[in-house]
Amino acid sequence: MPSLKEIRIRLQSVRSTRQITSAMKMVSAAKLRKAQDAIIQMRPYANKLHEILENLSSSLKSERDNVYGQDWETKRILLVVITSNRGLCGAFNSNVVKKAIQLVDEVYKKYQLSGDLEIIAIGKKGADLLKIKRLPACQTFNELFDDLSFENVSKLASRIMDDFAKTKYDKVELIYNQFRNAATQDLVHEQFLPIAREEKFEDRFETQVDYILEPSKEDIVKELIPKSLKIQFYKALLDSHASEHGARMTAMHKATDNATDLINELQLHYNKARQTAITKEILEIVSGAEVLRG
């Protein structure tokens, strides 16, 4: 059984750890509120923009002018893996990297072996994990989360879109965590480019809205497609950013609860050890008194 000093030192250590995890939980909760507000405000706009674009694109006579919708033969693939710059958020980062590795091993293995698969890592933890798994990223963009704004994200989105337009890549896919609530994040793997062809409105029992367009429909679509793609890319990063703080808050909450349980257990052991020591001392005193009396 550990000595009283050892248990006391362990108690002090766990109490210090609980203070740290409790503080991190409160910090994450404050950051989560801001990040959650950002993604909640973005979603209606992004979804409505995508709906209008889908409505207009479905009625176009030709999609030849839409370079982002050209479904070429897949020869080169780009995976964009979105994680975080910091850890202590449970399985938030590892789940994304596991999904990327699974996708490469099961679907894109031949492209990896031929050198036709590239990975862009947004987030330091994802880049580090990919390097450990011997699937290093060709480029990293960790600084985006230092100042997460549409202007900064749109630069990277424009770069990826230009590379696709120049046929450097034939397919671009995103892997990230989508924010649902503070305790739940959905792992998402979606195609970014080319623009996936949606089902017709008639097949989904929806009615096509008859918009009054000025200028022409084709000109509006040409303007909307790049903007919509940038918005979708920005929304993915906002989702991941909010999910990170939610995952960290949940992880720190569980760590604080576990520390509390451990403190209670150690306190019980300490009390038992102290009681045993006191009983032993009393027995020694009584035994000494008996010897002197005899």
Query: In sequence order, which ranges of 71-123 are alpha helices (DSSP H)?
Result: 92-106, 109-113
129, 89 contact by CB (below 8 A): no
Out of 39, 89, 96, 249, the active site residue is: 89
Residues in the chain: 294
Q: Residues 92, 248: contact at Cβ < 8 Å?
A: yes
* 138 carries an active-site annotation: no
Structure-token pair, residue 278: 């006191």
Residue 211 CB contacts under 8 Å (≥ 6 apart), including other chains: 52, 55, 56
Non-local (6+) Cβ contacts of 228 within 8 A are: 46, 49, 50, 53
- The tokens for 289 are 């008194």
Angle at the Cα of 232 (from 194 to 169), degrees rounded to 5? 30
The bridge status of strand 117-122 relative to strand 77-82 is parallel
What residues act catalytically? Answer: 89
